[in-house]
């Protein structure tokens, strides 16, 4: 199975900050990498799919990049509603696997 | 409006069975692959199983392979997860999720239900 490792596991930042979360795959997954946001008590929300395609309705503050094994999610200017947990997911091969999550907290 | 509503969760003893259902509406169900994803209390997301639009392709996570069975009824707009030989470690909130495409595993999951809680305990 492909292992997905996110870093950092947690992050403190302030409103207006630029934040980057990284995700590394244990083997090449081409561009089959997706990002989700989850708030407490809620279902995950798809932000970005296949590395850099912004899901409909998602703010352009969110962007993704990378290929092969190394990927990043960038939030250009943090807003109060962005404080949540973020997960990457590979959809290159089954079983699909998620990263362990990055908890983004208010500084 | 796309809606996915899970049901069937509850408290069950180890070794017993449970069947989860996911009722969908607001989109053409047989145009999309579907998945089950679970989240143990306080933990991260774990992909459980997926099924293509026509049930021709099915996959399972290692931890449930041989015990869980995914299926779908395109005429009734329902997704199912039959869970047998349940273990304490299966305790989680189970989400059904819609894939962006017909083909399973090609892209992200763009719609999710609110989940149904399964608790395995004696």
Q: Is the peptide bond before B24 cis (omega within 30 degrees of 0)?
A: no
Q: Checking DSSP bridges between strand A62-67 and strand B10-12, what pairing results, if any?
A: unpaired
Q: What is the pLDDT of residues A69-104, one digit of tens each?
A: 999 999 999 999 999 999 999 999 999 999 999 999
Residue by residue, pLDDT tens for chain B (122 residues) are 999 999 999 999 999 999 999 999 999 999 999 999 999 999 999 999 999 999 999 999 999 999 999 999 999 999 999 999 999 999 999 999 999 988 777 789 999 999 999 999 99
Give the residue among B66, B116, B60 at the shortest CA–CA distance from A96.
B60
Taking the C-alpha atoms of residue B103 and residue B91, their distance in angstroms, rounded to an integer, is: 29
Collect all residues from A whose CB is shorter than 8 A from any CB in B. 1, 32, 34, 36, 38, 42-46, 48-50, 55, 87, 89, 91-101
Interface of B with A in 44-73 (CB under 8 A): 44-47, 50, 59-62
Q: How many CB pairs under 8 A join A and B?
A: 70
Taking the C-alpha atoms of residue B17 and residue B69, their distance in angstroms, rounded to an integer, is: 11
């Amino acid at each position: 199975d492909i292992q997905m490792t996110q870093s950092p596991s947690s992050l403190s930042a302030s409103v207006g900050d630029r934040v980057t979360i990284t995700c590394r795959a244990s083997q090449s997954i081409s561009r089959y990498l997706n990002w989700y946001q989850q708030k407490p008590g809620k279902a995950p929300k798809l932000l970005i799919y296949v590395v850099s395609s912004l899901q409909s309705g998602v703010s352009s503050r969110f962007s993704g990049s990378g290929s092969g094994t190394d990927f990043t999610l960038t939030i250009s200017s943090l807003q109060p509603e962005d404080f949540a947990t973020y997960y990457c997911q590979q959809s290159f091969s089954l079983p699909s696997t998620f990263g362990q999550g990055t908890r983004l907290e208010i500084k | 409006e796309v809606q996915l509503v899970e049901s069937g969760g509850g408290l069950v003893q180890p070794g017993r069975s449970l069947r989860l259902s996911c009722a969908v509406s607001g989109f053409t169900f047989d145009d999309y692959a579907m998945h089950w994803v679970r989240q143990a209390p306080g933990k991260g997301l774990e992909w459980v199983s997926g099924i293509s639009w026509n049930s021709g392709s099915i996959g399972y996570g290692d931890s449930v392979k041989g015990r869980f069975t995914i299926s779908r009824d395109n005429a009734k707009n329902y997704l199912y997860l039959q869970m047998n030989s349940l273990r304490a470690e299966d305790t989680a909130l189970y989400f059904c999720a819609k894939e962006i495409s017909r083909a399973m595993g090609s892209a992200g999951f763009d719609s999710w239900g609110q989940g149904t809680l399964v608790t395995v305990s004696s």
